[in-house]
A and B are shown apart, each in its own frame.
Chain A
Amino acid sequence: MNGTAPASFETWLTARPDDRTGAGLDWLEARRRSALDQVREHGVPSAKQEAWRYTSLKRLLEQGFAQVDDTVTALRLDDIEELLIPELDSHRVVMVNGRYTPSLSALGDLPHGVRVTGLRALLANDPDALRERINGVAGERQPLFAALNTAGLDDGLVVLLDRGAVLERPIELIHLSVGMDEPRVAQPRHLVAIEAGAQATLVERYVSLGASLYCTNSVLELSLGRDAVLKHDRIQEESPNAFHITGLYLSQEENSRYQGTNIGLGGAWARTDLFTRFQGEHAECDLLGLYLAGDRQLMDYHIDVHHAVPSCTSRETFKGILYGKGRAVFDGRVVVAKNAQKTDAAMSNKNLMLSENAEIDTKPQLEINADDVKCSHGTTVGQIQPEMLFYLRSRGLSAPIARRMLCMGFAGEVIDALHADALRERVSEQVGQRLESAPLT
């Protein structure tokens, strides 16, 4: 869009109030209105705000995105075949431009006590099931993009596991974006509740057809009950011209275990906010991340882990490979409350710079208010070491292959955390391809 940028992100919310999803539900309308008020209060955050200190919103604002409100029905399964990973053997949910698309999905048989459905459908059939879930983890006061998502709430993935339910196969969400004539934003809202003792694996993939320009502003609310286990693989492979925003809100009860592996490969501008709140003791949260920031790409991560109760463990392990004029931001914060004794937290951010023109702003922080804790943080920014490169070349490997091998070695720790070989292979291949064409200056 040409001309002056709009003065706020309110233009994203174009859904007509009379027929939007769940329009007749008073509680939902009240939450939307409150969210809209918050969007207006937030306005356009400036660089003076800590959360936006390193990342300009100018480019995003200039696009003049409007919310997608039509369903794409023309797509057939063969159109998306190359995006599928058959070896994953998943319960597959496909969303196109933010809308659940049953014709492309293949849920298969779900075990007793497991509900996987679209948010829109559930709001129509059983809205009470969602009343406690929407904003249940994110809370009523939300940052700008989460508030936008709530104000424009339309569709998303809902996964509900009853107490003790165990899902053997992974649930796979493929969020597919298809370019439209006008620049559009999809705002999926995903709700995942794993009740006490239940176990699941969730794979979330953001993909596109073609190199179109669009925006995805997704919000996930995840709650893990007592002893619940969730393994969560997130792979962002948006189009090179896309904008991607994720706000992930995680709440963990006693003794629950969460492992989230965040792979960020695509998009021109990508922002990820991860919030973890421990609600019960002896819970474990393992957050891993791998990002590639290539030429003119921005990868921006904000991690906020709150140890509000004693004896929980968290790991934040993020690795970045930057090349060309790539930029990345890592802003990690672990807060240990006064009573959260025996907290065990370790945060690390390591960056491999393949070019002198790439830029990283990394800021891991610990805020410790208890005295009997084990906490650490560390950050590194480095280049490929010449002696490593020479070692590989002395064994007959060309410099570009040697360089890629070292990058893959660096990234391996995170890629290995993905739950299935098929995913590890796909991500390795994608990383390899991107590095192959990576400019080194």
Chain B
Amino acid sequence: MLSVKGLRANVGENEILKGLDLEVGPGEVHAIMGPNGSGKSTLAHVLSGREGYEVTAGSVTFEGQDLLALEPEERAQRGLFLAFQYPVELPGVNNTYFLKAALNSVRKSRGEDELDAVSFLRLIKEKLKILHLDDSLLKRSVNAGFSGGEKKRNEIFQMALLEPKLAILDETDSGLDIDALRVVADGVNALRSPERSMIVVTHYQRLLDYIEPDHVHVLAKGRIIRSGGKELALELEEKGYGWVVEEERAA
């Protein structure tokens, strides 16, 4: 589904990703862990097409297509979704209007009909329930004045609505208390399916107690230095990042 090979990317003069390889198959959940500054968020941003990053080498193919050649909206239309670490507030932009436009844009590119108002509302109410969100949220502006937890739930709610093939969750656990974390994780788990892959970017092992990954990768200094199963996350939790980084240096 997703194949990243030798990816190198700069922010300004600084090289952040230094030859990153990653293979994600259909239905797989990959956790990417690493210390601050290791390049986790850069990877999420480069994959979703955010401006300000320069890819200097390597390739990314998504379902056989050159992902890096696509505009951010084309990536979304083809089934890529980024749950933001810091969801952006859009004052004045009505949530319902935004969701409907986004959903119809994605549906259109999948060759599906646009949803009429009634079917849209029905769908939206069903998805809101999964995330324990109140439908008053629909009348508000996108993320404006939302609490930290509401913003993160709103991200997963959008994911539930857009039904991506590959979801990238960028530090979705940051800033959440344990109850909110559980709701978000339940939402994510409800969306797991053999066709849907996920990349869960996180600093802490905590989230992985709730969203169980198939593979865990350790990212340090712009490269994946170690990969393993879910037990790797537990080991990291116990020994800290210093352990793998040291080991890598010794090798």
Contact = CB atoms under 8 A, between A and B. Distances in A.
A405 B141 contact: no
B44 to A, nearest CB: 11
Contacts of B72: 390, 393-394
B48 A394 contact: yes
Contacts of B90: 388, 391-392, 406, 409
A395 B162 contact: yes
Given A386-B51, A395-B158, A409 B92 contact: yes
Contacts of A390: 50-51, 72, 88
Given A387-B88, A409-B141, A397 B93 contact: no
A149 B41 CA distance: 63
Interface in B68-85: 71-73, 75-77, 81-82, 84
Interface string A403-414: 001101111110
B141 to A, nearest CB: 7
B102 A395 contact: yes
A397 B101 contact: yes
A396 B73 contact: yes
A406 B93 CA distance: 7
Given A396-B76, A397-B101, A408 B93 contact: yes
A405 B141 CA distance: 12
Contacts of B51: 386, 390
B105 A394 contact: no
A430 interface: no
A14 interface: no
A401 interface: yes
A383 to B, nearest CB: 14
Nearest to B45: A390
Interface string B98-110: 1001100110010
Nearest to B88: A391
Contacts of A396: 73, 76-77, 102, 105-106, 109, 162
Contact of B73 (A398, A405, A408): A398
Contact of A410 (B73, B92, B97, B98): B92
5 contacts: A386-B51, A394-B73, A395-B73, A395-B162, A412-B92
Contact of B76 (A386, A394, A410, A411): A394
A393 B49 CA distance: 9
Nearest to B93: A409
Given A391-B84, A395-B158, A395-B162, A408 B92 contact: yes
Contact of A409 (B48, B91, B102, B106): B91
A388 B90 CA distance: 7
Interface string B149-183: 00000000010001000000000000000000000
B87 interface: yes
Contacts of B82: 394
Contacts of B48: 394
A422 interface: no
B84 A393 contact: no
A388 B92 CA distance: 12
A392 B95 CA distance: 12
Given A399-B73, A405-B93, 16 more contacts: A388-B90, A390-B50, A390-B51, A393-B49, A393-B71, A393-B72, A393-B73, A394-B72, A396-B76, A396-B106, A397-B101, A399-B71, A402-B73, A410-B91, A412-B92, A412-B94
- Name the interface size band of chain B: 20 to 34
Contacts of A392: 90, 98, 102
A403 to B, nearest CB: 12
A308 B122 CA distance: 55
Interface in B163-215: none
B76 A395 contact: yes
A221 B82 CA distance: 55
Nearest to A414: B92
Contact of B98 (A399, A405, A411): A405
Contacts of B97: 405
A395 B50 CA distance: 12
A406 B98 CA distance: 10
Interface string A361-398: 00000000000000000000000001110111111111
B112 to A, nearest CB: 13
A388 B77 contact: no
B51 to A, nearest CB: 6
Interface centre among B90, B105, B141, B162 (most CB of A within 10 A): B90
A408 B141 CA distance: 12
Interface in B100-142: 101-102, 105-106, 109, 141
A390 B76 CA distance: 11
Nearest to A411: B92
B102 A397 contact: yes
Q: Which 8 A-B pairs have the closest CB atoms?
A: A409-B92, A409-B93, A396-B76, A395-B102, A391-B88, A393-B72, A396-B105, A412-B92
Contacts of A412: 92-94
A368 B76 CA distance: 53
Interface string A300-343: 00000000000000000000000000000000000000000000
Contacts of A386: 51
Contacts of A405: 93, 97-98, 101
A289 B30 CA distance: 51
Interface string B36-49: 00000000000011
A393 B98 CA distance: 11
Nearest to A416: B92
A391 B49 CA distance: 11
A408 B94 CA distance: 10
A89 to B, nearest CB: 24
Contact of A393 (B76, B93, B106, B109): B76
A78 B119 CA distance: 38
Contacts of B109: 396
B162 A388 contact: no
